[in-house]
A and B are shown apart, each in its own frame.
Chain A
Amino acid sequence: MAYSEKVVDHYENPRNVGSLDKSSIDVGTGIVGAPECGDVMKLQIKIDEDDRIVEAKFKTFGCGSAIASSSLATEWVKGKTLDEALQIKNTEIVEELALPPVKIHCSVLAEDAVRAAISDVKNKRDAGASDKPTAAEQGVS
């Protein structure tokens, strides 16, 4: 199967590869996977006090389409607020990268990772704002 030029570009020059401090209160981490192929994807976001995403990093162990989808997702979420980032749809990723039908699940994975990261940082912030002991408990679990 031939990859589109954009997939190859993201695969060869992935944007924002790396990790953020997952214990930090302003960092949200989403780890998702595809049991069909064993791919795993970690996407992290860092927010400022206005809920705007100032940094995004990813690490994906999987096929070229999964790497490209998560690389693109980190580019897209940067500068967006959490609510804006939630609007990103996997279909937009499919369109941008010209993913074939068999690779649509890779874009779904990237969308899920963004959502998981957003939900993680929201939980952290809510817990931290209302009740410190709860935040500590959540950190343990």
Chain B
Amino acid sequence: MPGLRTMTLPSKCLNCDVELSIPIVCGGCHTLYPIPQTANYFDLLGLPQQFDLDGEKLSDTYRAIARNIHPDRFAGQATEMDLLATKLSAQVNEAWRVLKDPVRRAEYLLELANGPSAADCREVPGDLLARVMMLREDLEEARDQSDEQTLTSLRCSIQDERDHAFDNIAKRANDLSLANDTEKKAFRQLLNSIKYFDSLLADFASDPLSQGNPQQ
């Protein structure tokens, strides 16, 4: 795969011969290049394909690229450049949306490693579903009784469990390309568990009592 990628991605600008740091736009003369079929989101932003990314660098990189390929920059030029800029911008925005969120990034790395999608594997680790059901019931009861103390402690323990699951994801996400099928499935189960925790936490966010905001 890496060999194929270097063959299809231009390494130097065909217009001004400047080294291309990302494959879709020249930093020197702003010539645009169509996205090669083999390029993934990391390639698009010129980032290493790994889970650990410097968040600030990621933002800076995205902004610089987005500026360079912004369709406004090519308005009035040859129509195909204008169209290409629009298409590239959409792809770069999508790449940014996925990569800036650590959970989505982990999910995307699993996809690149040909791991199971959420539709392929809907399981969660161990008896987590029973645990989520219990948390939901406790939450409902605490709300019915306006028991703020229990609500606060529930929220903390859900956040702790979410953090714990996320730590496990972070530990394994860089090695997915070497993982076997069992490990990839376990990774998908962890990702699924995050969805349940986030749904619980979102429920807190929409709850006026636990927010201490009677206006909502």
Residues of chain A having any CB pair with chain B under 8 Å? 31-40, 42, 59, 61
Contacts and interface: CB of A to CB of B under 8 A. Distances in A.
Contacts, number: 39
B200 A31 contact: no
B199 to A, nearest CB: 2
Interface residues of B, number: 17
Contacts of B192: 35
Contacts of B75: none
A39 B196 CA distance: 7
Interface in B184-215: 192, 195-196, 198-200, 202
A38 B200 contact: yes
Interface in B153-202: 192, 195-196, 198-200, 202
Interface of B: 118, 122, 124, 129-130, 132-133, 136-137, 140, 192, 195-196, 198-200, 202
A31 B132 CA distance: 10
A38 B137 contact: no
Nearest to B118: A35
B195 A40 contact: no
B162 to A, nearest CB: 12
A108 to B, nearest CB: 10
Contacts of A31: 129-130, 133
A38 B129 contact: no
Main secondary structure of the interface of A (DSSP, over half): strand
A51 B151 CA distance: 41
Contacts of A61: 133, 136, 140
Contact of A35 (B124, B130, B133): B124
A42 B133 contact: yes
Contacts of B124: 33, 35
B122 A34 contact: yes
A35 B121 CA distance: 9
Given A33-B124, A61-B133, 6 more contacts: A31-B133, A33-B122, A38-B199, A40-B133, A40-B136, A59-B133
